[in-house]
Every structure is written in C-alpha cells, then in structure tokens.
A and B are shown apart, each in its own frame.
Chain A
Amino acid sequence: MLDPGTINLLTIFILAIFVGNEVISKVPPTLHTPLMSGSNAISGIAVVGAILAIQTEGTLGTYLGLAALIFATINVVGGFLVTDRMLRMFKKK
C-alpha cells in the first residue's frame, strides 16, 4: 500500500483538482486568454523546485536546477506582467 506521506499528497492533489474545476468553470469566455497567460504564470511555481534543486550539491544537478530556475522565472514574470497588461485593457464605458 501507499505510505501515509503519499496518501497526503494524493489527497491534496485530488481536492485541488475539484477546486480548480469549480473556480475555473466560472471564468467567462471573455477572460479566457488572460486565464491562460495567468495559469502560465502559476505553473511557474516550478521555480520553488528549481531553488531547492540549486541548493543540492553535485554540479550537473545544480546547473539543471539553474536552467529550470531561468525557465520558471520567465513564466512567472512574463505571465503575470502580460496578464496585467491585458486586463488593464478591459474597460466598461
């Protein structure tokens, strides 16, 4: 059987899918493009894994971590900025 730690992660995973499904199905079609760029930014959370990877010793692993950090930071910074740029344009007269 699975160990308690994995069960915990699995619980969080399943519940997060339900929450995601609920929240995102309420986003109107008008905002689907900002939703996509915004979720690009959120998937940049891999930045956390990248930081932890750089911490580890062993050169190849560290440099892979650095590459991951660069990729993920592009997503985070670019994603949030471009989403804001788009959302600024949505105005009501």
Chain B
Amino acid sequence: MNLFYLIAAVCFIIGLKRLSHPKTARSGNFIAAIGMLVAIAATLFSSGKLDLELIVIGFIIGGSIGALFATRIQMTEMPQMVAIFNGFGGGASALVASSTFLTPPESNFLIVCISVLIGTLTFSGSFIAFGKLQGFISGKPIVFKGQQFLNALAFSAIIILLSINNLGILDSQSIFYAILALSFFLGIGLVIPIGGADMPVVISLLNSYSGIAATATGFLIGNNGLIISGSLVGASGLILTNIMCKGMNRSLANVIFGAVGLEVASGDGSQKEMNIKSYSTTEAAMIMDAAEKIIIVPGYGLAVAKAQHVAREVADTLEAQGKKVLYGIHPVAGRMPGHMNVLLAEADVSYDLLKDLDEINPEFEDCDVALILGANDVVNPAARHDQSSPIYGMPILDVDKSRTVIINKRSMNPGFAGIQNELFGYDNSIMVFGDAKDMLNDLLKEIKEL
C-alpha cells in the first residue's frame, strides 16, 4: 500500500522539479497528475468495504465543479481561483479529520484538533480572501476596535480547550465542536482586516496552510501520501509568502497585523512641486523610433485595461524594426506570485523575454526607453533613498536609470500605497496620459507609420 504512495510522492517531486523551466513544466504537471491517479487507484483497490456508489457520486460532483472552474476562469481571476481552492483543500482535510474523530475506533484527539483547527481556519479565511478578490467584500481592510484582542481570545480559548481535555471537565465532543467553531471564526478574523493589496501574501500563506492541514490529517490517519504531499505544498506556500513579503519589504507580522492601506501615508505633508511633462503619443513614438533598447514595465493597470495583447503587438513591431525589447516584471506586479507572467504569456509574449527583478535591473543602465504601463509604486525611486517614504526599502525596478522613461497613466492619481511618485517629475521622464489600450493602439499606428 505505502509503496504506491511512495510512487505517487516521487511523481509529485519530479513534477515540481520539472516546473523549474517553462519547457519541461507542462510534462511535470502531467507526471504529478499521474501520481495522483496512482494514489487514488491504490486506495480504491486495496481497501476492503468501500461504498463505491457514494465515491463515484463524489468524484462526478467534484470533478465537474473542478473542470468547470478550470476551463471557465479568466487569467485575471486566477488569484480568486487559487484562494477558493486553498479553501477546498483546507476544508477537505478538516472534514477527513472530523469524520475520523466521529467514527470508532478512537483516534488521537490532539491531532484531530490540530487538523481541524488548521483546515477550518484555511477554509473560512480563504473564502474571505476570495470574497475580497472577487469584490463581494470590500477590498479595504475591515478593522474595528478590539479586533486583534478578539482573535487572541479565540486562539487562547482553543489552547485552553486543548489543555483541559484530559481533566474531564468537558467531554471531547464538546471540545471538538467548540474548536471547530472557534477556528472558523479565527480564519475570518485573521483575513478580514487585510487589504486587497496584501492579498498575494495572504493567498500564499493560505496555500501553505492547506498543505499543513493535509500533513496533519496524514499524521492522524497514518498516511505517508498525505504527509509528503502536504509538506511539499506547505513548503511551497511558505517560500512564496516569503518572496511576496520581500517584494513589498514587509514582514509577515506586519502584513497580518498591520492593516496597511487604511492609514494612507500622510508623509511630511509638504508635497514637493513636480515638473510634469505631458507628451502626445506621436512624440512618444518618435522617441521610441530613435531607441535601440526598450524595456516594457507592466503593472496590474495594464491587465485592468486589457491591453496586454496590444502591448505585445507594439513590442513585436519594435522588434521587427531591429530593436531589443524586454519585459521587466516586479514580484508584486500582479495580484498573486507570477500573475503578470501568466497574463503576458496569455498575450503570446515569449517567456524568455520576461525578466525578473534581479535579471532586469542591470539592463536599465544602457536602456534607451523604459515604457511604464500601469505600474506605479514598483518604479518609485523614493523606495531607494527617501527614508520618510512608506515604501522605503522596497525593491524596485530601476527604470529611472534609462535614458528616457515614458509613463502611461490614466491620470495623476497615486498608486496603491497612496503616495505620489517622484519619478514623474524627473528630467528624463515624460508622461503620456490616457487609457493604456487606447494609448498603445495609437502608439502602434504611429510606430508603423514612422
């Protein structure tokens, strides 16, 4: 039996290993899926008295819902989908643990509770995250007085309930249901005060929790398959959480308890006067015509304007004219880790042109034009030198080192962090105002005509 789980685990590890390059990634995903099939088949065939009818019903319902999600979802909605899937994963683990607890023989009560705690918290927290990303719930941090006290209270209550189990004051059924309810509440309480801009961190963390929940359930039912797979997912989620925190220069504690986005940075109050130079697309096209090396810096605004395709057409046209075109992608450019890359891949951008922060920053030194599309805080040079800036210390794309910086924006509204971007007033910066899609369409026409 465990031999088949070993095979499955090896398939998962090979699958993840092949995810280290876009060329091998697809086959890796396929190998991981085979691993899952092996695990499921082994479980079905080796177990004695199975209620096959119910199992088939479960597979059909779950399979159809999953397939529907997978085929219908828009790439911009990927964060929501991952959020809700984290919730299902956590929920499934909590349900297995509950079922094990409520069915004889007696199981290890402590592990049941840990499994239910993490699984349920992941479930309720993920649905709040989903609601925020989908716009069902306000993306703003929802905070009220005593909120963190309430969370702490719920957590302490769980710990106390666990420790009095052996004293016989309450029967284990009551303790179990109380922990279930408290965990559900705690999941909501932990996610609801976190703002929309911090969701990449939250879904990465919940991703990790869904893995840890599976591991806990694996300990409970003594199943290697669950332990190994859960650990892989747990490690993956933690690594991504860490990368996202670094990308925003925030500690995990600060994201979870900080409720940033609420108290919009007031700064020192003395907004510096900036000399904004507004250019037409014709002038921008002429500058680009003279350039040899161009770096496009996309932000989420580009995806909101659904302008990825026309951006790629502009890049293709420039490339056809013999210019070098690259894309610089900040870790928090999208709404989840790697989101912007998927959105550009969908627009047929070749993956070898997509460069991450460390790869692209040296490239700005000899870059003629940096074209900023819908990005703002991630290109604000204040992060490098202005200690009073709320984004000070955040790693940014050094676009200001290019000869010319062309910034497309709808208006002068500040970005997510609510701060004005000093880049816009730099001598080598020019602004082209307008909707990204319209502007790029005009630009495309102008470039072709030049």
Q: Which A residues are within 8 Å of any B CB, using their own CB?
A: 5-6, 9, 12-13, 16-17, 19-21, 23-58, 60-62, 64-93
CB distance from B157 to the nearest CB of A (A): 24
| Known contacts A35-B240, A56-B99; A29 and B329 CB within 8 A of each other | yes
A26 CB contact (under 8 Å) in B17, B233, B352? B17
Asked if A20 and B226 sit within 8 Å, CB to CB, the answer is no
Residue of chain A at shortest CB distance from B23 = A92
Bound together, the chains give a CA A6 to CA B270 distance in angstroms of 62
The residue in chain A whose Cβ has the minimal distance to the Cβ of B217 is: A49
Q: B187 near A: Cβ within 8 Å? A: no
Q: Is the CB of B207 within 8 A of A55?
A: no
Q: CA of A37 to CA of B16 in the docked complex: distance in angstroms?
A: 12
Which residue of chain B has its CB nearest to the CB of A46? B92
Task: Give the docked Cα–Cα distance between A16 and B236 (Å).
Answer: 12
Say whether A49 contacts B223, CB under 8 Å: yes
Contact A47 B40 (CB under 8 A): yes
* Chain B positions 26 through 37: 1 when the CB is less than 8 Å from some CB of chain A, otherwise 0: 100110110010
Contact A89 B95 (CB under 8 A): no
- Set B40, B98, B227, B240: member contacting A32, Cβ < 8 A: B240
Whether a CB of chain A sits under 8 angstroms from the CB of B421 is no
Q: Which residue of B lies closest to A33 (CB)?
A: B338
Given the known inter-chain contacts A40-B207, A91-B350, please indicate yes or no for A31 contacting B234, CB distance below 8 A: no
* Residues in chain A near residue B170, CB distance under 8 A: none
Which residues of chain B are near A83, meaning CB under 8 Å? 29
Q: Give chain B interface residues in 358-414, CB to chain A under 8 Å.
A: none
Contact partner of A27 among B16, B67, B69, B219, CB < 8 A? B16
Q: Are A81 and B71 in contact (CB under 8 A)?
A: yes
Complex formed: what's the CA distance from A57 to B73 in Å? Answer: 38
Contact size range, B: 35 or more
Q: How far is the CB of B114 from chain A (nearest CB, A)?
A: 13
CB < 8 Å neighbour of B73 from A13, A52, A82: A82
In contact, B36 and A42 (Cβ under 8 angstroms)? yes
Residues of A within 8 A of B75 (CB): 86
Are A34 and B96 neighbours in the complex by a CB distance under 8 Å?
no
Given the interface pairs A29-B337, A49-B217, the reply to whether A39 lies near B233 with Cβ below 8 Å is yes
Whether the Cβ atoms of A79 and B224 lie closer than 8 Å is no
Interface contact A38-B22, CB-CB below 8 Å: no
Q: Which residues of A are found within 8 Å of B329, using beta-carbon distances?
A: 29-30
Chain A residue numbers with a CB within 8 Å of B96 are 46, 49-50, 52-53, 64-65, 68
Residues of B contacting A51 in the complex (Cβ-Cβ under 8 angstroms):
40, 43-44, 47, 50, 55
Do residues A86 and B345 form an inter-chain contact, with CB atoms below 8 A? yes
**Residues in A whose Cβ lies below 8 Å from that of B214:** 43, 45-46
Neighbouring B residues of A66 by C-beta, 8 Å: 54, 57-58
Residues 69-86 of B, flagged 1 when their CB comes within 8 A of A and 0 if not, give: 111010100100110011
> Which A residues lie within 8 Å of B164 (CB)?
none
> Which residues of chain B are within 8 angstroms of A27 by Cβ–Cβ distance?
16, 19-20
Contact among B25, B89, B350 with A34 in the assembled complex (CB-CB below 8 Å): B25
Q: Which of B71, B88, B240 has the most CB of A within 10 A?
A: B88
